[in-house]
Chain A
Amino acid sequence: MFRSRSWFGGGLWKPKNPHSLEHLKYLYNVLSKNQTVSESNRGLLVETLRSIAEILIWGDQNDGSVFDFFLEKNMLSFFLKIMRQKCGSYVCVQLLQTLNILFENIRNETSLYYLLSNNHVNSIIVHKFDFSDEEVMAYYISFLKTLSFKLNTHTIHFFYNEHTNDFPLYTEAIKFFNHSESMVRIAVRTLTLNVYKVDDKSMLKFIGDRTAAPYFSNLVWFIGNHVLELDNCVRNDADHQSKGKLADLVAEHLDHLHYLNDILCLDIGDLNCVLTDQLLHRLLMPLYVLSLAPRLSSQDSVTQSRPYVSKVVALFLLSQVFLIITHAPLVHTLAWIILNSDSTSISDDDQAHNMTALAQSSIPSSIPKLVSPPKPTINEELELSYEEKKAIVWKKAHTSAEQTSADNTDTATTNEEGESSSQEPVPSPAVGRPFLEAIFASLDCTENDFVALFALCLLYSMGHNKGVNECLLDKVLFPAKNSQHWYNGNLIERLIQIISLSCQMNSKVRLVSLEMSIGLIQQLALRDNHSYLHDGHLAAIEGAREESTGQLRTFYKSDEIFLDMFEEEYNERKKGALNVEWLMMDSNILLPPTGTPMTGIEFSKRLPCGEGERTRRTIRAFLLVRELSQSLGMGNENQLPLTNPSACVQVDQVLDLSTCLPYNSDLIACTVVTKDGQKIRRFLVIDALQLILVEPDTRRLGWGVAKFVGFLQDLEETGDKDDSRCLHITVHRPLSSNTPNRLPLLAAKFVFDDHIRCMAARQRLTKGKAKARQKKMQQIARLLEIPANQATPSPPTYSLQAMRLQDRASRSLLGGPNRPLFSSAIKAPGFAAAVRREESGRSSRTPSPSSRTSSENTGTRSREGSPKMPRPRSEEIPLEDMSSQEGGSSSSSLPLQDPTNTSTPVANQNKVGRGATRRRHMEASRRLLSPSPRRASESPSRMAQAMERSSSMSNSPSATPPIPSSHPETETSFTEVPQDTGDPNGNNSFKRSDSADRKKKGSVEII
């Protein structure tokens, strides 16, 4: 056996240099003397194995003769010998670790080939280690995984034996695909992907023929079971108890889908066929899709016992499928089934068809199952339904796909085109398509938006999946290309319904659903930034916008916090669109919507809790709907953001102090003392919005460099008890800033030259802050079309309730809730209750007593005709500028203005009729959405007229040019469309009489 004495020579004594051929010879000697593992030599063996790894890698990198010796002496066979004795995990682990190190670090390709050539590695792979030992298991699977990284078209032949049709690395690994340890499962998945990746025809054929079907069927079965568990968890956890477990199950499902997608993306023809087939017919169709439709009662026992999941879970899972998997044959077929399949495909007759399909596609039962066969529960049943449905569905899907892509002249399209040419929103023919019908039905948010959110996500994800043929979606989810502006009227009406509902008081629609609906409308009606939306639908959206504006008016108050909230919500909105993929990763939304922040659920994914959150929600809804309206061509953005960043002074900006600062004829010199005791000499400049600390430019007289800028609105200043020349100034970070850091921007002591200058600075600061805030509040008021001054265009119609509240809000703004008297009234416990009661009782038109009280509080003042004098926070400094800006115009004169800018023939409705008017508007717009022949015969409401006009105009759909909505003309043009009946005269007189009425009642009650 030992051919050369010289090899053997130096091996008897341990050499000093551990990195030398001599050392390996010594180790060889040790191994050959200790071929039997015993208690006494265990430690020595482990140490030897460890050293072998080290020296081999050293040799690989430095001295070729080391490896030659290792191969010559066939030292791997020692490994096998040791392994085959019951050597215990201690030795086994070291052995596997040595192998890991060896294969991980080896760089010399020839060495690698030699190592693999004698089949020892395959013997080690198939060796039955003690897999119950978690340590052995981990090292073993890591070993297999490490090997899989060495696979390529050359090395594959060492692992896959074409003649014996044997591939132990793969077949041994997939036995653990469902191991209880997640890291082991991941390693198996990595290994399989590494195997599939190797471009070797015969190996892939082996995988496809011999293992794909059983492996994938087990995988699919495993996922199916997992999904049932998930469903069970959702059903039994209405009160958010086992959130952790649910989150896990969801994440696990995502892992599976990503894994499947990774396989499909490798684009291996045969493999993908088998996988697509298995997935569609054993999982997606029978379990996910069929769970969408209501269960048919008159079915045989097979269907009865068919496993199913709740509709919520089904929609959720399908959304995930469309968000993750892009393999066209799979997603396209699935989308086709959902969108087009009729009830025949879920009825289970038609045996004749099934027979042929079965013959073609059934999996040879002779294949040995590699993994323990799936339990009969889900799999058999899935198989049954699979066999039933397969033939028809496949055939239909494929023929339809061909048809749609080849020509678009099938009857359905022509019909739809014909209808669309009449410019009427067409009710989508969802009848006879149970799944599509089920999805549409889910969009109903009257109760809540629990299911609707998932339906929205599914529609979104189908629309955004690259693998789904666009022709298929054209009819459902996009404006059809071939007919100029046809889109799915039925769907859009449902979406508008969601938007309308979410703009109402105490809406049960979460912000996230609103945002999804908006996204879908844009997807549905916009192509290349051009809106194809029919005027009737547009009108409904504008109606919703009005509604949301009206809602926000009720929350509008000159509270410090309102402005901060508004700006924060605006910035939050600007951060970017909703990431639907992330949304569908959140298991929280699988549980019924909740209102409590205690669940830790993000604000947009739950209902608001408390007055603050309700305000926030209303702001966000307003911004979202406003954005939608603008994207549909109704006006451009010219009012937001409230602060134009480009108009702000930046740090290090050079300023011409003589001209650019109108507020400051002189600068106030001061010394800024920071917390760490640093003293800096600066000039304090108070701009319209900002506080600026300037360092004079030494080279140019009258110029300076801004060293610090902060917004006045975030400022806080206090005097110093001990030193009358000092002010303590804190500038907070804007609530809306993106940094999590809540430390103030600046917190320092300002020392002025004398007491007088200090007082002056303080006055300027307080005044500047009040002005800055007031300016923004007025901007918001303009945005909300609150008639605070003359400049406001004709006030639109809005609900009585909103009007009343808005009236109060605007008066409280003008009357100055900053005065202690009123702010205390507003903060009184009854106030919040009042709003709530009003919200809940919005259908009843009787003002609640508490609202009367509050209006009484503010009302007296407004009647005295000085309502527009804004009160600064600091009483001693009146804001002359502001009052002059409001230009002596009294808001009370506004209602008396002639309605010159409107040609609307609507008669002034009496007070009793106002609530009814609104209802009529709503009904009218609803009628508009689903046109009926009765429409023309309706009462001479302006809705009908608008409708007439819009349908006559709509031959040129782009007729409505985008005009800034704030412009009065737009309002006028809009009066052609319902809801927005700009009728200032009537409205305002109502408002006045109404508020007067309330005041009377209020005073009576108070007395």
Chain B
Amino acid sequence: MSYAYLFKYIIIGDTGVGKSCLLLQFTDKRFQPVHDLTIGVEFGARMITIDGKQIKLQIWDTAGQEAFRSITRSYYRGAAGALLVYDITRRDTFNHLTTWLEDARQHSNSNMVIMLIGNKSDLEGRREVKREEGEAFAREHGLIFMETSAKTAANVEEAFINTAKEVYEKIQEGVFDINNEANGIKIGPQHSPTNPSLPSGGQGGMQGGGCC
């Protein structure tokens, strides 16, 4: 299970927007999209490949921990990326984005990559938040934006991978201090800065049942 880098992500957003389902859909795609099944998980890990390098994503759902201030602030700080999720069929979840973002910006390190996700794009008929609104919000606050569906798996892969690409670029630019693990980035056991091109073991794809 060796990797070049490990990125820690958090997923934030109101309850019921499908955070844990997104997570499970990404880490274990074999959970089939069935209409009468809502299934999610609080933690997951998966290997992806960016720029020929194995990168492991560790995703921590922060749901249910809002009651404790100490917990939320610690989570933010330890993450390199955050998926900020709202539900396109519920306007209130979109309205709360500002609060979430303020929290994130206050507690996280300034380099954390935040991706805005409008989830449940399969429920077009019940849509309350226009795609353009999401795009505008993202533009205004400097976020990447995407609409996804954990149910149909649409864009789920892309959401996580694009965020990872952004983090990876920041590492290349030297913005992240990769030797400081508190940033949510860890260098893999076989990876050393002097030998960066070392490809890691091929069995990463098996991890967590994910395929890549």
Please list the residues of chain A having a beta carbon within 8 angstroms of any beta carbon in chain B.
Answer: 18-19, 46-47, 50, 53-54, 57-58, 61-62, 89-90, 93-94, 97, 100-101, 104-105, 135, 138-139, 142, 145-146, 149, 182-183, 185-186, 189-190, 193, 244-245, 248, 251-252, 254-255, 258-259, 261-262, 582
B58 and A183: CB pair below 8 A?
Answer: yes
A189 and B39: CB pair below 8 A?
Answer: no
A182 and B78: CB pair below 8 A?
Answer: yes
Band of interface residues on B: 35 or more
How distant is the Cα of A90 from the Cα of B47 in the complex, in angstroms? 14
A62-B36, A149-B64 known; A100+B70 contact, CB < 8 A = no
How distant is the Cα of A259 from the Cα of B68 in the complex, in angstroms? 8
A57 and B70: CB pair below 8 A?
Answer: no
How distant is the Cα of A58 from the Cα of B32 in the complex, in angstroms? 11
A19-B34, A19-B37, A182-B181 known; A146+B73 contact, CB < 8 A = no
B27 to chain A, nearest CB (A): 8
How distant is the Cα of A145 from the Cα of B181 in the complex, in angstroms? 22
Sampled A-B contacts (12; CB under 8 Å): A61-B38, A89-B1, A104-B40, A105-B39, A105-B40, A135-B45, A135-B207, A139-B45, A193-B71, A248-B182, A251-B182, A255-B74
How distant is the Cα of A193 from the Cα of B40 in the complex, in angstroms? 23
How distant is the Cα of A259 from the Cα of B73 in the complex, in angstroms? 10
A587 to chain B, nearest CB (A): 12
B180 and A104: CB pair below 8 A?
Answer: no
Q: Which residues of B contact A193 (CB under 8 A)?
A: 68, 70-71
B158 to chain A, nearest CB (A): 23
A952 to chain B, nearest CB (A): 53
A50-B28, A251-B77 known; A104+B20 contact, CB < 8 A = yes
In-complex Cβ contact of A145 among B28, B39, B42, B58 (8 A): B42
How distant is the Cα of A177 from the Cα of B7 in the complex, in angstroms? 22
Q: Which residues of B contact A149 (CB under 8 A)?
A: 64
B70 and A255: CB pair below 8 A?
Answer: yes
Q: Which residues of A contact B73 (CB under 8 A)?
A: 254-255, 258
A190 and B41: CB pair below 8 A?
Answer: no
How distant is the Cα of A262 from the Cα of B73 in the complex, in angstroms? 12
Interface membership of B103, Cβ < 8 A:
no
How distant is the Cα of A142 from the Cα of B37 in the complex, in angstroms? 22
B181 and A190: CB pair below 8 A?
Answer: no
B71 and A58: CB pair below 8 A?
Answer: no
Q: Which residues of A contact B206 (CB under 8 A)?
A: 90
A104-B42, A190-B68, A193-B71 known; A93+B78 contact, CB < 8 A = no
How distant is the Cα of A261 from the Cα of B74 in the complex, in angstroms? 14
A18-B32, A135-B1 known; A97+B58 contact, CB < 8 A = no
Interface membership of B55, Cβ < 8 A:
no
By beta carbon, the residue of chain A nearest B34 is A19
How distant is the Cα of A53 from the Cα of B58 in the complex, in angstroms? 21
In-complex Cβ contact of A190 among B1, B71, B182, B209 (8 A): B71
B34 and A58: CB pair below 8 A?
Answer: yes
Interface membership of B167, Cβ < 8 A:
no
Q: Which residues of A contact B39 (CB under 8 A)?
A: 53-54, 57, 101, 105
A251-B182, A255-B70 known; A138+B43 contact, CB < 8 A = yes
Interface membership of B199, Cβ < 8 A:
no
By beta carbon, the residue of chain A nearest B20 is A104
A146-B42, A255-B73 known; A183+B36 contact, CB < 8 A = no
A186 and B41: CB pair below 8 A?
Answer: no
How distant is the Cα of A245 from the Cα of B28 in the complex, in angstroms? 36
Chain A proximity mask over B31-60: 1 for CB below 8 Å, otherwise 0: 110101111111111000000000000101
Q: Which residues of B contact A183 (CB under 8 A)?
A: 8, 58, 60, 75, 78
By beta carbon, the residue of chain B nearest A53 is B39
How distant is the Cα of A258 from the Cα of B73 in the complex, in angstroms? 9
Q: Which residues of B contact A97 (CB under 8 A)?
A: 28, 41, 44, 208
Interface membership of B65, Cβ < 8 A:
yes
In-complex Cβ contact of A94 among B36, B64, B209 (8 A): B209
Q: Which residues of B contact A89 (CB under 8 A)?
A: 1
In-complex Cβ contact of B41 among A100, A189, A259, A262 (8 A): A100
Interface membership of B113, Cβ < 8 A:
no
A93 and B208: CB pair below 8 A?
Answer: yes
By beta carbon, the residue of chain A nearest B10 is A183
Interface membership of B177, Cβ < 8 A:
yes
B78 and A186: CB pair below 8 A?
Answer: yes
A50 and B30: CB pair below 8 A?
Answer: yes
B32 and A258: CB pair below 8 A?
Answer: no
How distant is the Cα of A58 from the Cα of B181 in the complex, in angstroms? 39
Closest 9 CB pairs of A and B: A258-B70, A142-B43, A259-B70, A182-B78, A248-B182, A186-B74, A262-B68, A262-B70, A255-B74
Task: Say whether chain A's binding surface is mostly helix, strand, loop, or mixed.
Answer: helix
Interface membership of B84, Cβ < 8 A:
no
A54 and B31: CB pair below 8 A?
Answer: yes
B71 and A189: CB pair below 8 A?
Answer: yes
User: Which B residues, 163 to 181, have Cβ-Cβ distances below 8 Å to chain A?
Assistant: 177, 180-181
In-complex Cβ contact of A261 among B8, B60, B70, B208 (8 A): B70
By beta carbon, the residue of chain B nearest A739 is B140
A50-B30, A183-B78, A186-B74 known; A61+B37 contact, CB < 8 A = yes
How distant is the Cα of A259 from the Cα of B65 in the complex, in angstroms? 12
B171 to chain A, nearest CB (A): 14
A18-B32, A182-B181 known; A189+B209 contact, CB < 8 A = no
B41 and A104: CB pair below 8 A?
Answer: yes
Q: Which residues of A contact B71 (CB under 8 A)?
A: 186, 189-190, 193, 259, 262
Q: Which residues of B contact A94 (CB under 8 A)?
A: 208-209
In-complex Cβ contact of B69 among A57, A90, A146, A262 (8 A): A262
A392 to chain B, nearest CB (A): 32
B72 to chain A, nearest CB (A): 9
How distant is the Cα of A459 from the Cα of B20 in the complex, in angstroms? 45
By beta carbon, the residue of chain B nearest A141 is B43
How distant is the Cα of A423 from the Cα of B62 in the complex, in angstroms? 58
A691 to chain B, nearest CB (A): 27
How distant is the Cα of A262 from the Cα of B32 in the complex, in angstroms? 40
How distant is the Cα of A183 from the Cα of B184 in the complex, in angstroms? 9
Contacts A61-B38, A193-B68, A258-B70 known; 15 new A-B pairs at CB < 8 A: A18-B32, A50-B28, A61-B37, A94-B208, A97-B41, A138-B43, A139-B45, A145-B42, A146-B42, A186-B74, A186-B75, A193-B71, A255-B70, A258-B73, A262-B70
How distant is the Cα of A58 from the Cα of B33 in the complex, in angstroms? 12
How distant is the Cα of A259 from the Cα of B42 in the complex, in angstroms? 21
How distant is the Cα of A101 from the Cα of B75 in the complex, in angstroms? 21
How distant is the Cα of A256 from the Cα of B74 in the complex, in angstroms? 9
A381 to chain B, nearest CB (A): 28
Interface membership of B24, Cβ < 8 A:
yes
Q: Which residues of B contact A259 (CB under 8 A)?
A: 70-71
In-complex Cβ contact of A100 among B37, B42, B60, B182 (8 A): B42
How distant is the Cα of A189 from the Cα of B73 in the complex, in angstroms? 12
Chain A proximity mask over B126-155: 1 for CB below 8 Å, otherwise 0: 000000000000000000000000000000
Q: Which residues of B contact A182 (CB under 8 A)?
A: 74, 77-78, 181-182
Q: Which residues of A contact B43 (CB under 8 A)?
A: 100, 138-139, 142
By beta carbon, the residue of chain B nearest A741 is B140
How distant is the Cα of A46 from the Cα of B30 in the complex, in angstroms? 12
How distant is the Cα of A558 from the Cα of B180 in the complex, in angstroms? 49
Q: Which residues of A contact B182 (CB under 8 A)?
A: 182, 248, 251-252
User: Which B residues, 65 to 98, have Cβ-Cβ distances below 8 Å to chain A?
Assistant: 65, 68-71, 73-75, 77-78
How distant is the Cα of A215 from the Cα of B96 in the complex, in angstroms? 38
How distant is the Cα of A244 from the Cα of B1 in the complex, in angstroms? 29
By beta carbon, the residue of chain B nearest A57 is B39
How distant is the Cα of A97 from the Cα of B68 in the complex, in angstroms? 25
B26 to chain A, nearest CB (A): 13
Q: Which residues of B contact A189 (CB under 8 A)?
A: 68, 70-71, 74
A100-B42, A142-B42, A149-B64 known; A61+B36 contact, CB < 8 A = yes
User: Which B residues, 103 to 133, have Cβ-Cβ distances below 8 Å to chain A?
Assistant: 106
B189 to chain A, nearest CB (A): 9
Q: Which residues of A contact B69 (CB under 8 A)?
A: 258, 261-262
